[in-house]
Amino acid sequence: MGANFQVFSSLRYDPGLRHVPGSSFIHAGWNYTNASPLYMLDYHRDRMLRAATHWGWDTAIAALSGETGLKNLESFILQNICQDNPESALRVKVTISKDGEMSVVTGPVPATALSNLHPQNFPSPGLSSDGSEEGLHLPLKRPEYEVLIADLKTTPSEYTHFKTTKREMYDQARQRAHINLLDKKEVLIINEEDGSVMEGSTTTPYVWRNEGWVTPTVNREYRPKSDSGGQDGTSRRWALERGIATESIIPVSSLVDGEECWLSNGVRGFFFGRIKLA
């Protein structure tokens, strides 16, 4: 009997990424070594594979595993993208079922500078950024997102650790905060067990603590009550592996109205926000 949910990941299709190989973005990882329009595809494959492994979905595991699985995933996505303008960026939702069946859904997404897709660091609070300070690829601080706090807390579970189609907790938080898909707003999900920040409804958040940027702690493997309860997102993993941020428990009580933060996901890259408590 098939599972009543699917595993998925949302990523960016952007023809501009084909120019990353041979550029100064030598820290870009997979996109530097592969002239592909798919953003961080290896990390998206990895997160889907970890979820399939957790639930013991053998057919899905076989479909995603190894270099063959990565190449097949890339081919499947590119073959199933339908668009009128091949040079426009797209949001791509790729889903896999227990039986290894994949599907792709696309939608429009705003243009984004390469420095916001592959930053080398975040500017310290209060500093401006034009994306190129001191020879670094720093993300632009515009547009600015309004970052709200969920009015109801969330119970951590397998479905907050892994990205699946069971997303009622995120959808409801966005609805209560009156956030639509293209709004420049985000809402932070709060752990009901300890009052810490789990993640954003569609993003990983980063806040400035002890002279550095931190993001909620998440274990690679699912271990209840041992971390923030949120997801090990693709852009989050990318930032941690490059030392842009470190992990820390972030009590919601520590957030300050108006403080700067950064957000990231596999579709929009890294973008600037500001906490709004009132």
Could you read off the pLDDT of 106-138 as tens digits, one per residue? Answer: 999 999 999 999 999 999 998 877 655 555 799
Residue ranges covered by each domain of the chain: 7-108, 114-275
Q: What is the mean pLDDT of the chain?
A: 95
Pick the CATH number of 114-275 from 3.30.200.20, 3.40.50.720, 3.20.10.10, 3.40.50.300: 3.20.10.10
Asked if pLDDT for residue 2 goes beyond 70, the answer is: no
Compute the C-alpha angle 29/32/37, nearest 5°.
105
pLDDT at 134: 52
pLDDT given for residue 85 in this prediction: 73
Joined together, the tokens standing for residue 196 give 């810490």
Sheet holding 197-200, edge to edge: 197-200, 185-190, 144-149, 269-275, 260-265, 204-209, 212-215, 246-247
Q: pLDDT digits over 157-215, tens only?
A: 999 999 999 999 999 999 999 999 889 999 999 999 999 999 999 999 999 999 999 99
**For residue 1, what pLDDT is reported?**
46
Question: Per-residue pLDDT for 29 more than 90?
Answer: yes
| Segment 210-222 mean pLDDT | 96
pTM greater than 0.85 (yes/no) = yes
Query: Residue 100: is its pLDDT beyond 70?
Result: yes
